[in-house]
C-alpha cells in the first residue's frame, strides 16, 4: 500500500493533486458518521474494471465506505494484454506488481515500402489485464472496500437523499438493493449505469486481434505498426507478449469487415492465429461530462464508460486511471478536479490528431514516415503518448512540414464530411 500513499504525496508536490484532496477530514468524517448510523454506503462502484477498482481504492484509502458491484462470479476477467506507457508506474505504484510481462523499447512504423524506427527513452509496459485487476481488487479490499461478486446492475433511482442501485444475483436471479450517496459507473463502453442516469450512448468501434507466434525476425522488445488506409483509418499492430508470441490487431469501423481485413493481413504476413479476441471500444468524439445529479445525489462515470480513450492510438488504460483519479478528487473536493481538466485537454488534442489522420491516404502516410528524421523523432523518444502536448509542440518546431501535412488531413476530412451531408 505504500506505493499509493507515496503517490498522493508525489502528486501533491508536483501540484497535480490539490492539497485539499490530501486533507479531507470533513468529507471523511461525514462518510464515516453516515456509515456508523447505518444510513447508506457512501459510494457504490458498478463494475470491477481496472478504472473502477482504482477509484474504489483511492476513496477507501480516504476513509469512505465503498462497495463494488461486479457481475462476474470471480475476479477473473478475460485475459488480455495491454500496452501502456511508463506513466502507469507513477499512477499505480505497488498495485502493478506481478502484472508486467514484457517491456517495449522501440516502435517500427511501416507504410508502402517505407519504414521508421522510434526508440523509447522510457520503455512501454506490456501488462496482463487479469493480473492487474486482481491486484487492484486485493488492494481495494485491504483499504476497506467491499466487493460483491455475481451481482448484475439492473437500474438506479433516487430515494430520499440517496440512491438505490438494484442488482440481480446471477446465481438465482433474485434482486437486491444497494443504497448509496454516490454511484460510480465503471461498467464499460455500453455502460448501463450511464444509460440509467441519462447519458447518451457512446460511439464505439470494433477491435479485433489474433494471438500469433512471434515472427523469428522480430525482437520481443519491439512493436510493429502498419498503416494501410484502404483497410482501416487506424492501423495494424503487432505487440509481443513474450519471446514466443504476440497480439496482431486492428481497429475498424465495421465488425465484419474488420475481421475479414485482419484475416487477409494475417495471411499476407504468413501468420497462423492461435486464437482471436474481439471487443468494442469507445471512440472519443467529445468530452463526456463525468458527473450528473440524480435526485439529490451524484452519479459519476470513469474509464471506458466515460469514453476516456486516446482516439489517436485508441489506448484507454492510463487515461482511464487518470479519470479515476479525477473522479476521486471531485468526490473528495466537493466537485473540483484539476486532473479531469488536464485529462480533457489531453483527450481533445488526441481527437484533433485523429481527425487529421483519419482521412490520410497511403501517400500521406509515406510522406509522414519520410519526415520522421532524427531531430523529429527525438521528442517521440523522450515523451510518452500520454504527454501529447509536449510531443506535438516539439515535433512542430523541428519539422514544420508536419503541420502542413496535418492541416491537409483536416481539410480532406472537412471536404469528405461536406460531401456526406450533401
Q: DSSP letters of 390-402?
A: HHHHHHHHH-THH
| Grid cell at residue 419 | 460531401
Q: Which three cell numbers stand for residue 418?
A: 461536406
Q: Are 67 and 43 in contact (CB under 8 A)?
A: yes
Mean pLDDT of 159-167: 92
Q: Reduce the DSSP state of residue 36 to 3 states and report it.
A: helix
pLDDT at residue 411 greater than cutoff 70: no
Those residues whose C-beta lies under 8 Å from the C-beta of residue 10, and which sit 6 or more positions away, are 90
Q: 343 pLDDT exceeds 70?
A: yes
Secondary structure element (H or E) that encloses residue 421, with its range = helix 401-421
Position 413 confidence tier, pLDDT thresholds 50, 70, 90: low
Q: Which residue has the higher pLDDT, 29 or 317?
A: 317
Residue 310 has pLDDT above 90, yes or no: yes
Residue 14 or residue 306, greater confidence: 306
Least confidently predicted of 229-243, 272-286, 363-377: 363-377
The answer to whether residue 405 scores a pLDDT higher than 70 is: no
Q: pLDDT at residue 49 above 70? A: yes
pLDDT at residue 307, rounded to an integer = 97
Centre a 10 Å sphere on the Cβ of residue 404 and count the other Cβ atoms it contains.
12
Residues 204-223 have a mean pLDDT of 95
Helix axis angle for 338-357 and 401-421, nearest 10°, is 80
Helical spans, DSSP H, in 16-64: 19-22, 25-36, 50-61
Mean pLDDT in residue range 225-234: 94
Give pairs for 370-377: CB < 8 Å, separation 24+: 370/114, 371/399, 371/401, 371/402, 371/405, 372/109, 372/116, 372/118, 372/399, 373/399, 375/399, 376/402, 377/116, 377/118
189-198 average pLDDT score: 96
> 34 or 189: which carries more pLDDT confidence?
189
Note the pLDDT of residue 2: 40
| Distance of alpha carbon 50 from the chain centroid | 9
So what's the pLDDT on residue 417? 47
Q: For residue 176, what are the CA distances in angstroms to 52, 140, 150, 271?
A: 21, 23, 11, 49
- Where is pLDDT greater, at 417 or 125? 125
Q: Among 40-49, 124-133, 410-419, where is mean pLDDT lowest?
A: 410-419
pLDDT at 94: 76
As a whole number, mean pLDDT of residues 279-299 equals: 95
Name the residue with higher pLDDT: 69 or 12. 69
Confidence of residue 371 (pLDDT cuts 50, 70, 90): confident
pLDDT: is 163 or 278 the higher one? 163
Residue-by-residue DSSP string for 303-314: GGGGT--BTTTT
The answer to whether residues 91 and 102 touch, using CB atoms and an 8 Å cutoff, is: no
Residue 5: pLDDT over 80: no
CA geometry: angle at 327 spanning 336 and 317, to 5°?
Answer: 135
Q: Where are the domains of the chain?
A: 2-79+129-201+288-339, 204-282, 350-421
**Mean of the per-residue pLDDT values of the chain:** 85
Q: Is 149 exposed, middle or buried (0-12, 13-18, 19+ CB in 10 A)?
A: middle
Domain 2-79+129-201+288-339, CATH number (from 3.10.50.40, 3.40.50.720, 3.40.47.10, 3.50.50.60): 3.50.50.60
Q: What's residue 377's pLDDT? A: 87
Helix (H, G, I), strand (E, B) or coil at 406: helix
- Among 95-99, 263-267, 341-345, 394-398, whose mean pLDDT is lowest? 394-398
Is it the case that residue 410 has pLDDT exceeding 80?
no
CA 251 – CA 228 distance, rounded (Å):
12
pLDDT of 331 reads: 95
The residue behind cell 469528405 is 416
Alpha helix stretches (DSSP H) within 297-386: 317-332, 338-357, 362-370, 374-382
Q: Using 50, 70 and 90 to split pLDDT, how confident is the model at 357?
A: confident
Provide the pLDDT confidence category of residue 404 given band limits of 50, 70 and 90.
Answer: low
Q: Determine the average pLDDT of the residues in 366-371.
A: 88
Residue 135's H or E segment, with its range, is helix 129-142
> What average pLDDT does this structure show over 309-330?
94
Topology annotation, domain 204-282: D-Amino Acid Oxidase; Chain A, domain 2 (3.30.9)
Cell triple for 161: 437523499
Q: What is the pLDDT of residue 131?
A: 92
Alpha carbons 292 and 182: distance in angstroms, whole number: 10
pLDDT of residue 79: 76
Sheet of 114-128: strand order equals 81-84, 114-128, 100-111, 222-226, 236-240, 245-251, 204-213, 275-282
Of 255 and 67, more confident: 67
Question: Do 177 and 313 form a contact (C-beta atoms < 8 A)?
Answer: no
Residue 10 predicted with pLDDT over 50: no
> Of 107 and 373, which is predicted with more confidence?
107
Tell me which of 393 and 350 has the higher pLDDT.
350
By the 8 A CB rule, do 266 and 273 touch? yes
Decide if pLDDT at 118 tops 60.
Answer: yes
227: pLDDT strictly greater than 70: yes
- Residue 253 is predicted with a pLDDT of 86
Amino acid at each position: 500500500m505504500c506505493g499509493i500513499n507515496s503517490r498522493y504525496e508525489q502528486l501533491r508536490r508536483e501540484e497535480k493533486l490539490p492539497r485539499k484532496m490530501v486533507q479531507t477530514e470533513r468529507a471523511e468524517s461525514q462518510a464515516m458518521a453516515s456509515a456508523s448510523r447505518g444510513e447508506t454506503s457512501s459510494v457504490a462502484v458498478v463494475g470491477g474494471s481496472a478504472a473502477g477498482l482504482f477509484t474504489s481504492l483511492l476513496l477507501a484509502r480516504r476513509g469512505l465506505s465503498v462497495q463494488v458491484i461486479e457481475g462476474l462470479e470471480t475476479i477473473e476477467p478475460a485475459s488480455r494484454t495491454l500496452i501502456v506507457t511508463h506513466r502507469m508506474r507513477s499512477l499505480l505504484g505497488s498495485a502493478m506488481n506481478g502484472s508486467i510481462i514484457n517491456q517495449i523499447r522501440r516502435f517500427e512504423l511501416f507504410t508502402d515500402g517505407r519504414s521508421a524506427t522510434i526508440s523509447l527513452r522510457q520503455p512501454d509496459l506490456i501488462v496482463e489485464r487479469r493480473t492487474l485487476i486482481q491486484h487492484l481488487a486485493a488492494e481495494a479490499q485491504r483499504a476497506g472496500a467491499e466487493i460483491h461478486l455475481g451481482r448484475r446492475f439492473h437500474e438506479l433511482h433516487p430515494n430520499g437523499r440517496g440512491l438505490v442501485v438494484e442488482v440481480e444475483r446471477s446465481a438465482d436471479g433474485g434482486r437486491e438493493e444497494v443504497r448509496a450517496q454516490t454511484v460510480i459507473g465503471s461498467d464499460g463502453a455500453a455502460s448501463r449505469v450511464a444509460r440509467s442516469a441519462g447519458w447518451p450512448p457512446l460511439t464505439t468501434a470494433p477491435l479485433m486481434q489474433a494471438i500469433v507466434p512471434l515472427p523469428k525476425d522480430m525482437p520481443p522488445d519491439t512493436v510493429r505498426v502498419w498503416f494501410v488506409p484502404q483497410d482501416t483509418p487506424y492501423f495494424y499492430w503487432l505487440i509481443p507478449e513474450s519471446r514466443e508470441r504476440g497480439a496482431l490487431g486492428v481497429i475498424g469501423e465495421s465488425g465484419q469487415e474488420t475481421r475479414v481485413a485482419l484475416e487477409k493481413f494475417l495471411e499476407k504476413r504468413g501468420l497462423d492465429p492461435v486464437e482471436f479476441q474481439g471487443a468494442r471500444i469507445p471512440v472519443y468524439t467529445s468530452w463526456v461530462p463525468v458527473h450528473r445529479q440524480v435526485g439529490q445525489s451524484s452519479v459519476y462515470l470513469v474509464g471506458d464508460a466515460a469514453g476516456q480513450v486516446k482516439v489517436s492510438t485508441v489506448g484507454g488504460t492510463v487515461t482511464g486511471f487518470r479519470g479515476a483519479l479525477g473522479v476521486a478528487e471531485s468526490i473528495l473536493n466537493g466537485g473540483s478536479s484539476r486532473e479531469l481538466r488536464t485529462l480533457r485537454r489531453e483527450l481533445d488534442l488526441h481527437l484533433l490528431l485523429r481527425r487529421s489522420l483519419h482521412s490520410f491516404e497511403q501517400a500521406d502516410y509515406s510522406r509522414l514516415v519520410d519526415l520522421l528524421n532524427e531531430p523529429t523523432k527525438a521528442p517521440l523518444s523522450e515523451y510518452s503518448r500520454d504527454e501529447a502536448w509536449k510531443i506535438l509542440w516539439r515535433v512542430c518546431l523541428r519539422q514544420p512540414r508536419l503541420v502542413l501535412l496535418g492541416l491537409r488531413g483536416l481539410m480532406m476530412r472537412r471536404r469528405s464530411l461536406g460531401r456526406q451531408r450533401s
